[in-house]
Amino acid sequence: MLSQLDSLKTEALAAIEAAQDESALEAVRVNFLGKKGSVTALSQGMKDVPVDQKKEVGAKLNDVRTAVTDGIESKKLALQAAKDAKAVEGIDVTLPGRPGAGVGALHPLTQIRDLAIRTLRRMGFALAEGPEIETEWHCFDALNTPADHPARNEKDTFYLPDGRLLRTHTSSVQIRTMEAAKSLPVRIIAPGAAYRRDEIDATHLSVFNQLEGLYVANDVSLGDLKGTLEYFFREIFGANTAVRFRPHFFPFTEPSFEIDVKLEAKGKDARWIEIAGCGMVDPAVFTAINKARGDTLFDPDTTTGFAFGLGLDRLAMIMHGITDIRHLIDNDVRFLQQFAA
Amino acid sequence: MQTSLSWLSTHLDLSSYTVPQLSDLLTFAGVEVEGIEEKGVTTDKVVVAQIQSFVQHPDADKLSVCQVDDGSGTPRQIVCGAKNFKAGDKVPLALPGAVLTGGFTIREGKLRGVDSLGMMCSGKELGLGEDHSGLLIMSPDSPVGTPFNQLNPADVLFDLEITPNRPDLLSHLGLARELAALTGLPLKSERDHAKTATKPKRAAEDQIAIQAAEACPLYTARLIKGVKVGPSPDWLRRRLESIGLRPINSIVDITNFVLMEMGQPLHAFDLDKLNGGIGVRMAAEGEKFLALDGQTYALQTDDLVIADSQRPVAIAGVMGGEETGVTDTTVNVLLESAYFAPSGIRRTSRRLGLSSDSSYRFERGIDPQQVSGASELATKLILSIAGGTAEDVILAAGEAPTLVGEVTLDEDRARKLLGTPDMQGDEIHAILEKLGLTKKSASKQESRWLIPSYRLDLQRPVDLIEEVARVIGLDRVPSRQTAVASPVEAADRAYDFAMNLRQSLASRGFFEAQTLRLISTAQLADNPNTAEPVAVKNPLSEDHTTLRPSIVPGLIATAALNIRQGLHRLRFFELGRVFLQLPKGGSREEERLAILLSGPVSPSSWHAREPQAADIHELVGQIQNLTRTPFEVRPAKENTANFLLTSELRAGNRVLGWIAQLHPARARDIDARHPVYVAELLLSALRQGSTGPTKFEELPRFPGMTRDVAMEVPADLPHAKVATFFASQKHPLFVGAEVFDVFTDPTGTKMAKDRKSIAWTLTYRASDKTLETAEVDAAHTSILSALEKTLPAVVRR
């Protein structure tokens, strides 16, 4: 019996080794360990084994059964592993991915506007807005612009038949905001479209985008204006960006400045690029606001403020090296997809 | 304004400043330098040379081989292509190493085999005008060997942008005064002509009569008789040419010189062509005037004219007349110097489209105190250049208006506004004094200042603070950063909502467009919705006549542009403002989101060469994914001409927007390969559904069970009707239903053509236990029987 067991074990392990798939392996199991299997048959023969040999034969029988069971189990795992490996055979992972719905993009103007807004919000500016169809009062009179100022001309400004106009700058939102303000301080930024009667060419659009800023309180100084805008442009263009303020003239601020930042163009020396206008709110603006409000919230003797405005189209062009402003309104996908996130 | 450095240097000695330093000085005083141009010869290596002899080049007909004396003692051989010289002529010679205009470097070399050791130059080659017809022949007394620029000094031309508040800088004297203040350099005071003027004498009525004192407060005239008009001397011609003015004759050139020197426009009349005295009056309606530019202008009653007894002889301050101007035959001159009020000049100049150096200065404002001084300077120049005799007095009518006075400065307020708490009163005083202001009084707090007559911009305390800021510059002001806790505004919420929509669409493959808000009248047909647009009164072109009442026309133009580039899978959106005319006048502006889609549902790739083209259901799906607000799609009764399938999106009574298919005819117009779908949504309506924090709903603790139902209904029964039925079911176990199949058979073989088969999955659940099959069956049966009672549906059992 012992020798029978030895040869059975050899036979079973060979059969396991030879099994090519799960069903062959199952057949082997049935053959040896099934109800009618050879190992089962031998264990039924245990009752005929003499008592003095029972212990030895029993141990041997157990050994054979364990060896066969383990053999089947490990072969099963090996077969599964081979099958798993086969499942990924021949997959070329270097092929392009499935496009899904494809990649879209935010317009570069939206991106730059959002960057500007996020930066200024960190300094506690709230957003404000106003109508694009404006009264002459909000766009010019209240902003201390003389009655015969050239900007009011029909050659330069779009008018509606009813006498209103398309705002020539977002500065009219300063007026709208101060008219409606309940208290000081007023600290707002206003992104928006503005209109000028310009022929469209590589550097001009008749409708363009600006960002206006206004901070009015009782102790606002030129130092606040400088600190705020230095911070802003360094956040936008990099911490080491040089920013300079050149005295200039605007009817609604005094003193007034134009702001240049020093930027490097590809392969060229860094140069000063004009980027924004700013200044301290002219007291005449406060006087006009008070008159319209019928109170003295904006007392020109104690209230001070700064205002600034910048062209977002120009900012986008400088930032991305865009050479023709018309790209911003053509919406050619070959242009837009360059700005995908 | 074109400004000559050499001209400026006649007023103050700027030799210790380099050109970039001067440029910075002006820039930081608020005068933008828009261009700098070096004129003439800056290198010493161009010298006066004398041509001693020349012979024909052996191998070139057009070249001569010249021997020239360059002052070195050794003759120099130069090959030259010009023909306009003879032996003995003196010419500019560029020696090897000289760098000429355009960066062109002169080298020793051979021309057709003959040595040439330099180049003789034309005027153009030296950057002196346009003459390129031959060598620049110099005067015979030019010393040989002398650097050319010692005889003809180089000049630097600054192109300056003078802001409208500083008309006093529109002259060389004005700029010199400013530079003197900024540098501390002394002005050569004898050139300050305003101070040396003859006292004017009141003119008699028949000499000068001002009938429009408001428009012309002061008019002066000086008579100069027996002049001999001719070309101006070199120095005068050079001055005018250096700033781009064309010399005409000595008298006209002198008036132009004084204009650019002092900023006072003058006009010289030919006295013998005037009839009677000078009248300053408003024009008669329709009065005709032949101006110096050869054009005839029709005048109006608000145009100021200078007239003799018969006709206008000048449009005051703008342009003189053709018939009374000074010509070469003029013998007697009437020299006008006046102050005209800015607003009238501006109005006339603008209406006539006629702008001159004169009107430019009058409409910005001139110094009334310089009127006599300018007349005096011009008279002196005329006498010395054109001869003649001047009458002893300047005839004047009216008075020089007082345009500036005294201003009190609260110095504490200045420090506060500037953000310079440490700034001393002395420093403020020193700045104002060097700008020409006179201190009338000063206390600890305040100082009182007399403003010079040319500083028309200094009227209020803040104007003086600006001067201090301008002079100290922002470098002196310490930066301060303040953050203020600002409450969130409605505009903030609207912005954040819009940004989320944008990001959501971009991440789903849409490109954001930004189209112009001004569209053409023709584009209005591309609006799926009817709306009264707002038209512009003075459009610049036919393409931009109207404020857009919808963003869709812009997106269709965007689609057309990209189709022309060969793109047929189109996914665009734009978020922005539209403008609607209100029936009772006025207008409304609202923010909208427009979407356009056309072509394959995904980009083509190796997985799928041509994925299925999008249909209107994809558009609806995209919108459903954008908003948490459930909405129904309600087909509209009518379509505008360019659209089909127009439908309204509604959440209850709230209109969220519209969807439509671009009419195939219009789609063919733009060469679209696939159907084009558009949507336009109202942001405020969309946002109403998504305010406030989400309220958490307990998760179901017990499993639900589903039952499917298939039913046959009339083909034209809208899905919405069935959905409404299920949504209204109140059975406690019923959770909801979803459509999973719609089947029609256009051939009519499997089902009648006017029928369709739809299939729904219904879900049942109880919140407190696992449902028994029998309970679900009972609920399902009751809902199905209600279904058959409510809708024309036959349930397949």
Claim to verify: residue A61 and residue A146 sit in the same structural domain? no
Block residue for tokens 């009058």: B362
**A265 assigned to some structural domain:** yes
Query: A254 vs B466: CB contact, 8 Å cut-off?
Result: yes
Claim to verify: residue A159 and residue A81 sit in the same structural domain? no
**A98 assigned to some structural domain:** no
Tokens of B730: 């109140």
- Residue B514 confidence (pLDDT) above 90: yes
Q: What was the pLDDT predicted at B197? A: 60
- Residue B291 confidence (pLDDT) above 80: yes
Which among B495, B518, B605 has CB closest to A127?
A: B495
pLDDT in tens, B667-719: 999 999 999 999 999 999 998 876 678 889 889 999 999 999 999 999 999 99
Chain B residues within an 8 Å CB radius of A128: 489, 491
CA B700 to chain centre: 63
Count H helices and E strands in chain B, helices first: 19, 42
**A223 assigned to some structural domain:** yes
**A200 assigned to some structural domain:** yes
Q: Select from A55, A87, A119 the last residue of a domain.
A: A87
Q: Select from A18, A52, A87 the last residue of a domain.
A: A87
Kind plus residue range of the DSSP H or E element containing B740: strand B734-743
Claim to verify: residue A155 and residue A217 sit in the same structural domain? yes
**A101 assigned to some structural domain:** no
Claim to verify: residue A35 and residue A133 sit in the same structural domain? no
Which among A206, A226, A256 has CB closest to B479?
A: A226
Please give the mean pLDDT across all residues of chain A. Answer: 92
Strand order in the sheet with B438-442: B406-410, B446-450, B438-442
Smallest CA–CA distance, residue B240 to chain A, in Å, is 29
Which among A133, A187, A190 has CB closest to B587?
A: A133
Query: Which chain A residue shows the shortest CA-CA distance from B607?
Result: A98
Tokens of B699: 């998760």
Smallest CA–CA distance, residue B585 to chain A, in Å, is 9
pLDDT in tens, B416-428: 999 999 999 999 9
CB atoms within 10 A of CB A59: 10
**A276 assigned to some structural domain:** yes
Q: Structural domain of residue A69, as residue ranges?
A: 2-87
Claim to verify: residue A79 and residue A113 sit in the same structural domain? no
- Residue B195 confidence (pLDDT) above 70: no
- Residue A237 confidence (pLDDT) above 70: yes
Claim to verify: residue A153 and residue A262 sit in the same structural domain? yes
**A57 assigned to some structural domain:** yes
CA atoms in the 13 A half-sphere facing the CB of B379 = 26
Q: Select from A87, A120, A135 the last residue of a domain.
A: A87
Query: B511 vs A122: CB contact, 8 Å cut-off?
Result: no
- Whether chain B has a CB inside 8 Å of the CB on A227: the answer is yes
Distance, in Å, from the CA atom of A129 to the CA atom of A173, rounded to the nearest integer, reads 6
pLDDT in tens, B224-283: 999 999 999 888 988 898 898 988 999 999 999 999 999 999 999 999 999 988 899 999
User: How many independent structural domains does chain A possess?
Assistant: 2
Would you place residue B196 in the very low, low, confident or very high pLDDT band (cuts 50, 70, 90)? low
Claim to verify: residue A126 and residue A51 sit in the same structural domain? no
**A103 assigned to some structural domain:** no
State mean pLDDT over B280-305: 94
- Whether chain B has a CB inside 8 Å of the CB on A48: the answer is no
Distance, in Å, from the CA atom of A151 to the CA atom of A156, rounded to the nearest integer, reads 6
Q: Which of B453, B460, B449, B456 is nearest to B425 (CA)?
A: B449
CB A171 within 8 A of CB A309: yes
CATH number at residue A297: 3.30.930.10
Q: What was the pLDDT predicted at B393? A: 80
Claim to verify: residue A145 and residue A219 sit in the same structural domain? yes
Chain A residues within an 8 Å CB radius of B509: 100-104
Claim to verify: residue A63 and residue A126 sit in the same structural domain? no
Claim to verify: residue A179 and residue A302 sit in the same structural domain? yes
Which among B492, B508, B586 has CB closest to A101?
A: B508
Q: What was the pLDDT predicted at B355? A: 92
Q: What was the pLDDT predicted at B130? A: 63
Query: B513 vs A101: CB contact, 8 Å cut-off?
Result: no
Q: Which of B538, B495, B494, B491 is nearest to B518 (CA)?
A: B538
Distance, in Å, from the CA atom of B40 to the CA atom of B101, rounded to the nearest integer, reads 9
Would you place residue B190 in the very low, low, confident or very high pLDDT band (cuts 50, 70, 90)? low
B425-431 long-range CB contacts below 8 Å, 24 or more apart? B428/B468, B431/B467, B431/B468, B431/B471, B431/B472
Chain A residues within an 8 Å CB radius of B459: none
Residues in Cβ contact with A26 at an 8 Å cutoff, skipping those fewer than 6 apart = none
Claim to verify: residue A70 and residue A126 sit in the same structural domain? no
Claim to verify: residue A134 and residue A260 sit in the same structural domain? yes
All structural domains of chain B, each given as residue ranges with its CATH number in brackets, are 2-40+156-191 (3.30.56.10), 46-153 (2.40.50.140), 195-398 (3.50.40.10), 406-474 (3.30.56.10), 490-688 (3.30.930.10), 705-796 (3.30.70.380)
Strands B319-320 and B296-298: unpaired
